[in-house]
Structure formats: C-alpha cells, structure tokens
Amino acid sequence: MKAAAPKALAAAMALVLAAAACGRKPSGAAGEARPLTIAVIPKGTTHEFWKSIHAGAARAARELGVEIVWKGPQKEDDRAQQITVVEDFVSRGVDGIVLAPLDDRALMRPVRDAAREGIPVVIIDSALQGSDYVSYVATDNRKGGVLAARRLGSLLQGRGRVFVIRYQEGSASTTERETGFLDTVAAEFPGLDILVKDQYAGATTETAYQLAENLIGRFPDVQGVFAPNESSTFGTLRALQESRLAGKVVFVGFDSSPKLVQGLRDGAIHGLVIQDPAKMGYLGVRTMAAHLRGEPVEKVVDTGVVLATRENMDAPGIRSLLVPGLAAIDD
Amino acid sequence: MSRRRARLGRALDVFGPFVGLLLVIALFALIPEVRGRFLRAANFKSVATQSVIVALGALGMTLVIISGGIDLSAASNIALASVVTAYAVNAGAGPLLAVLLGVLTGGLVGLVNGGLVTRLRLVPFIVTMGMMGIARGAAKWIAGNQKIDAPMTWVNELMAKSPRPSWLLLAPGIWVVILLAAALAVLLKHTVFGRHVFAVGSNEATARLCGLRTDGIKVLVYAVSGLFCGLSGVMEFSRLTVGDPTVAVGLELDIIAAVVIGGGSLSGGEGGVLGTMVGVLIMSFLRNGCTMMGWPNYIQEIIIGAIIVAAVALDRLRHRKD
C-alpha cells in the first residue's frame, strides 16, 4: 500500500504529459466534410413536453444531415445551470444553438456572448428579451387563449360566471394566454361575468389544486373555468372532481398529459388547447440549419395551436398531439 | 530509503488533491472530439467563472467542517442573499449598499446558526437543516414568490466573462475568490484563531479543558461562513442578473462535496483551502467536459458521485500510512 500512492501519482503525471503532447497536434484536417453541429438546450429533460421537442429536433437533424447535441440543465428549471450549459457549448464552438430560455432576462447575457463569438442562437418555446438571436420559434400563446375563450364562450352561450386561474407571475408564455383569453371574452362575450382574474396558481399541481379548491369554496355556483398550462389544468381538474363539479362546470385547459386526456374523454374537460412541441423542436433545428447555410429566415415562426375536444380527440392529427409518440428519438 | 519515502509522502500530501484534477483535465484533453476546444484559455476562464459561486460557499464550508460542524443552509443562504441584493438594487439603493446588505444577510444567517448550535446545544446538522428551510422561505417571501428583475449595474459586471476594464483578464469574481482563498489559508495556518478552529474540530472537550472558548469560536466560524455565503449570493445575482429565490437548490451538497474531495473530514479537525479549491474545480471541469461532449446529465451525476467516494477512500489510504 505504501508504494501504491506514488505510483498512482507518477501514472497520472505521465497521462497528463501524454495528453499535453496530443493536444499540440493539429486537429482540424477533416474540417471541410464535417456536418453542422447544433446544440439544442431545453428547460429540462424529464418532462414529456421536452421529450417531444427532442423527438422533433432529432427528426429535423436526420432529414437535414446535421448533428444535434441535446443537453438540458442538470436540475429541471435551474436558471444558473442553463447559463452554464450555454457557456459550455459556446466554449466547445458548436455551429449554432437552439435554446428554450428558462428566463427572458437571465439568459440574455450568455446569448449575447454566443453571438459575439459568432455562434448564432435560435430561441424556441419562450421569449427572450433583446435581439441577439436569429429567430423565435414558438407557439402563438395569445392565439391559444383566444381559442380557449371562444370554446368556453360558445359552450356557455355567451353568459355565465367564470373564473380564470392564472399560472405564475413573470411567466411570459402563460401571461399571453391569459391576456388572449381575457381580451377575447371582453370583446366577443360581454355576457360572461369574470369572477376572479388575478389569482396565481403557482408552479405545482398542488398549489393549483389548493387555489381552485378555495375559489370553488367561495364561488360554488361557478359555471366556467380556464387554466393556462398543464399543472394548473390538472390541479383544477382534481379540485372539480373532489367537489363533484367535474362535467357540470365548463372547463377549458391547456396542454396535454395522460390524466388530462382521460378527463377530456370522461367529459370533465371540455377543451384542451394543445401546442405542437415536436414541431417546435423540428422547426427550431430547421431554422438554425437554414440560417447557417446562408438562407434568409423569419424573425418569428409560429408553430400553431389547436383545440382538442371530446369530439375530435381521436382524429389522427389531434391524437398524435395529445398522445405524442416518442419513438422518434434516437441518439 | 525511509527518508525518501517520507519525502514522497509529503509531496503526495501537497499534490494529492491535484492528482484528481489533473486526471479529469487529462480525460477530456484526450478525447479528440473536444480536445482542441477544451484546452483553450477561454474555456478555462469560463470554467473558473462558473466555479465562483460554489467556491465562495466552499471556503466558508471548509472552516465549518474543520471545526467539526456542517452547514446545510449554505445554498438557501446564497439564494436569500441574492434575492436581498436584487431587492435592494430594485428599491433604488446604491449598488455598493445592495452588495453590503446581501453579504451581511448571509452573515446574519450564519450568526443565528452559530448561536443556535452553541446556546441550544443542538447538533449543527439539525440547526442548519432547519435554517435551510427558513432561509429559502424568507427568500421566496421577500421576492414575492417570483424572481426579481433588477436594473443592470456594475454588480452584474462582477461575473462577466469579458471584464471591464480588460486588464483584469478574469472576471472580478474570480479575483475575489483568489484573494479570499489566500486570506483564509493564512488565517487557518498562521493565526491563533485558525489553530483554535482545528483544535475545536479535533477534540472539542480537550480544547475546552485547555481553556479555549469553544462556543465563541464556533459562533465566529458559522458567522464567517455565512458571510462567504452572502458574497456567493451576490455573485449569483451578478450572474443571473435577476434575484431568483429558487436558485441553487441542492447546491449545499456540491459545496460539501468540494470540501470533502479536497481532504476535509466530516468528523472535524481536517481540511484545507487548497484542497477545497481543487475539489470545486474538479466538479466544474467535469460538468464542463460532460456538456461539451453532449453526454446526458445522468452520466455526469454518476461520475461525480463516484469521484466523491473515491476521493475520500484515497484520503483514508493516505492517512492510514501515517
């Protein structure tokens, strides 16, 4: 044992020297034939939404013959770690970065640094302040809110008592959905009485559940509810089910998950506005590749929203969005 | 022969922590895909900037661990300090005042930790675990359960990759770490207080019998550690440009891991600034290399876990030799 440690030390030193020697060799000989490398950075890696984006990005990569590197922050939703990931890809010198920023402000500086180093960035899913990026590829969230308001308004025939569960202060995408909903109600369904419109559900299903429960307790005669994302929709669904109002109250939500699809089928949810994350990943990589090949790209690309209802949920175009097939990911 | 072996042993004690770091750097330097990019100065600079937050927390933690304690509230304290700084900047306080407030908030949390540990005679694990929740909750409370957007000031330049003025070469935050690390190393090795911290950590009862005021020393240790966390929080705010109460969840484990990889012993009485800094860099380089390779996060987590166990096992081996 006594001799083992110095030996290890010597071996390590040798290894390092060897590495240093290798490092000096020129390495860019095969540079011309190298395919484009595009880093795709999601907000997290374990949610289904991001897996769909990954699937879309992988499809675009296959079609275009580019390479993608998929890497999210180590902890879901950790702003600081997402900054680190962007910086590391800039250090590596990828050809382009497709980024879903966790924060419209905190990611500004790393994106600007990337642009300064000559690495273009395409923003997907959520907006980023400033203009250091090539293109913004995302759902038109406002349109999603408009679709939800029209569905709710027409089912209630233009009159009734409604509340809006907001998601979280400072979340740009959901705020646009809420605004789209409220504006449309004000313009097209003046007979709808908005009971509550400034209560925030918070980040988790649990907090949304509690808020919805409290609101139902205060307004037991509510006739319509809108929730702007997956967790708030599911929390509200649970609260409606617990208070035996599911199916009686017209409920329109946002996004999809197996539980929400079941709610749609059971008639507890009357409409789900769904985005197309696979298309977002697909168009994000496509837009970046086009830009890198010198083609002009749109500054804003809409990836579309649709309304899923009990009636249309088994139509093939809708079904594939409600229950995304994730087999397309390969890396 | 025996003298040569002793000399080798001493060399190993000094350079031991570096072996792991060199191995990690060598690992990525040998992979042809990223070799050219990984070994660039710009990348080393970027890794150093990324290390600042953990490094500051780990300097304080080194002190706490040497004294035989533990501080689980470090990461929450960082989040709280970052939120307080952002809040102050936003409320119109001068940037310097905001920075001071952030650092002092951290110090206050540390002071309370130390007070509770010594007055209530509770184990540090419990006290700081409680404080972990309290500080995190306070951060969310102050921030109104959301992030605080603060206007850009020179505070945000502390962690900029290209510093102004450019003769600084490295981000000001890195220089702060280097200066404080040197100061803490001197404090630990060459001052009475430093020797007392080691004495308390090695054997508190004996230290007390020798006439040391162990309670006072411990309170001071936690307070200083809190100040380091406060400064780390300021750096976190500088990097994010927003005050985020949910930042750095679980970071206390990275901080503790850095100290332990660097030779700190959770039973107290051992640890060093140099080792801790190397521990911080090992983890940063691993993260950087894994990202450059595009390896999935789980690989990185498994590697870091294995390194923690291996580092401590190696340390044990070295000590059994003595």
pLDDT at A245: 92
Helix (H), strand (E) at residue A67: strand A67-70
Which of A194-203, A289-298, B236-245 reaches the highest mean pLDDT? Answer: A289-298
Instruction: Mark yes or no for CB contact A109/B34 under 8 Å.
Output: no
**The pLDDT of residue A12 is above 50:** no
- Using a CB-CB distance cutoff of 8 angstroms, which residues of chain A are in contact with residue B37? 91-93
Residue from the list A70, A74, A80 with its beta carbon closest to the beta carbon of B247 = A80
Residues A148 and A267 both lie in one domain: yes
Per the domain annotation, does A70 fall within a domain? yes
B178-224 confidence digits (pLDDT tens):
999 999 999 999 999 999 999 999 999 999 999 999 999 999 999 99
Per-residue pLDDT, averaged over A129-143, amounts to: 93
pLDDT at A33: 59
**The pLDDT of residue A126 is above 80:** yes
Domain boundary residue, one of A275, A293, A318: A275
pLDDT at A331: 43
Nearest CA-CA distance, residue B6 and chain A, Å: 10
Alpha helices in A162-276 (DSSP H): 172-188, 205-218, 230-242, 258-266
pLDDT at A235: 92
Per the domain annotation, does A22 fall within a domain? no
Q: Poorest-confidence range of A27-36, A298-307, B6-15, B226-235? A: A27-36
Instruction: Mark yes or no for CB contact A5/B321 under 8 Å.
Output: yes
- Using a CB-CB distance cutoff of 8 angstroms, which residues of chain A are in contact with residue B34? 92
Buried b (16+ CB within 10 A) or exposed e, A69-104: bbbbbbbebbbbbbbbbbbbbbbbbbbbbbbbbbbb
pLDDT confidence bin for B12, thresholds 50/70/90: low
A84-99 confidence digits (pLDDT tens):
999 999 999 999 999 9
**The pLDDT of residue B301 is above 60:** yes
Residues A155 and A269 both lie in one domain: yes
Helix (H), strand (E) at residue A322: helix A316-322
Residues A153 and A211 both lie in one domain: yes
Instruction: Mark yes or no for CB contact B239/A45 under 8 Å.
Output: no
Per the domain annotation, does A122 fall within a domain? yes
Per-residue pLDDT, averaged over B252-260, amounts to: 93
**The pLDDT of residue A25 is above 90:** no
Per the domain annotation, does A328 fall within a domain? no
pLDDT at A263: 94
A236-257 confidence digits (pLDDT tens):
999 999 888 999 999 999 988 8
Q: Is B52 on the interface with A (CB under 8 A)?
A: no
| B219 vs A174: which has the higher pLDDT | B219
If you compute the radius of gyration of chain B from its CA atoms, what whole number of angstroms results? Answer: 20
CB A123 within 8 A of CB A135: yes
Residues whose CB falls within 8 Å of the CB of residue B142, separated by 6 or more in sequence, listed in order: B80, B83, B84, B87, B245
- Using a CB-CB distance cutoff of 8 angstroms, which residues of chain A are in contact with residue B145? 169, 200, 202
State the pTM of this model. 0.78
A200-230 confidence digits (pLDDT tens):
887 778 888 989 988 998 888 999 999 999 8
Residues A149 and A69 both lie in one domain: no
Per-residue pLDDT, averaged over A33-52, amounts to: 86
Domains and their CATH numbers in chain B: 17-321 (1.10.3470)
Residues A193 and A238 both lie in one domain: yes
The mean of the pLDDT values for chain B is 90
pLDDT at B51: 95
pLDDT at A30: 41
pLDDT at B4: 66
CATH number of the domain at A73, please.
3.40.50.2300
Per-residue pLDDT, averaged over A146-159, amounts to: 95
Mutate to test the interface with B, among A66, A67, A92 (most CBs of B within 10 A): A92
Per the domain annotation, does A315 fall within a domain? no
Per the domain annotation, does A63 fall within a domain? yes
pLDDT confidence bin for A2, thresholds 50/70/90: very low
Which of A41-45, A101-105, A176-180, B145-149 reaches the highest mean pLDDT? Answer: A176-180
End-to-end CA distance of chain A: give it in Å, rounded: 43
**The pLDDT of residue A150 is above 80:** yes
Residues A270 and A283 both lie in one domain: no
Nearest CA-CA distance, residue B142 and chain A, Å: 15
DSSP A249: B
The mean of the pLDDT values for chain A is 86
Residues A57 and A167 both lie in one domain: no
Its ipTM equals: 0.79
- Using a CB-CB distance cutoff of 8 angstroms, which residues of chain A are in contact with residue B19? 8-9, 12
Residues A267 and A287 both lie in one domain: no
Range of the domain at A165: 141-275
Sort strands A224-226 and B148-149 into parallel, antiparallel or unpaired. Answer: unpaired
Per the domain annotation, does A299 fall within a domain? yes
B148-169 confidence digits (pLDDT tens):
888 888 998 898 877 877 888 8
Residues A181 and A126 both lie in one domain: no
Cβ within 8 Å of B, A 112-151: 113
**The pLDDT of residue A138 is above 60:** yes
Domain boundary residue, one of A275, A296, A312: A275
Per-residue pLDDT, averaged over B239-243, amounts to: 89
pLDDT at A24: 38
Instruction: Mark yes or no for CB contact B22/A90 under 8 Å.
Output: no
Instruction: Mark yes or no for CB contact B23/A12 under 8 Å.
Output: yes
Per-residue pLDDT, averaged over B13-32, amounts to: 82
B69-108 confidence digits (pLDDT tens):
999 999 999 999 999 999 999 999 999 999 999 999 999 9
- Using a CB-CB distance cutoff of 8 angstroms, which residues of chain B are in contact with residue A4? 317
Instruction: Mark yes or no for CB contact A103/B240 under 8 Å.
Output: yes
CA–CA distance, A166 with A170 (Å, rounded to integer): 11
Give me B95's structure tokens: 């940037």
Max distance between CA atoms of chain B, in angstroms, equals: 68
Residues whose CB falls within 8 Å of the CB of residue A308, separated by 6 or more in sequence, listed in order: A256, A264, A271, A272, A273, A274, A318, A321, A322
Structural domain count, chain A:
2
Instruction: Mark yes or no for CB contact A71/B30 under 8 Å.
Output: no
Buried b (16+ CB within 10 A) or exposed e, B108-145: bbbbbbbbbbbeeeeebeebbbebbebbbebbbebbeb
Residues A94 and A203 both lie in one domain: no
Residues A67 and A172 both lie in one domain: no
| B109 vs A3: which has the higher pLDDT | B109
Residue from the list B26, B53, B149 with its beta carbon closest to the beta carbon of A16 = B26
Per the domain annotation, does A14 fall within a domain? no
3-state class (DSSP) for residue A286: helix
A259-297 confidence digits (pLDDT tens):
899 999 999 999 999 999 999 999 999 999 999 999 999
pLDDT at B14: 64
Q: Poorest-confidence range of B43-47, B60-64, B173-177, B193-197? A: B43-47
What is the side-by-side order of every strand in the sheet holding A305-308?
Answer: A192-200, A160-166, A224-226, A250-254, A271-275, A305-308
Residues A63 and A183 both lie in one domain: no
Q: Which amino acid is at B43?
A: N
Nearest CA in chain A to B27: A19
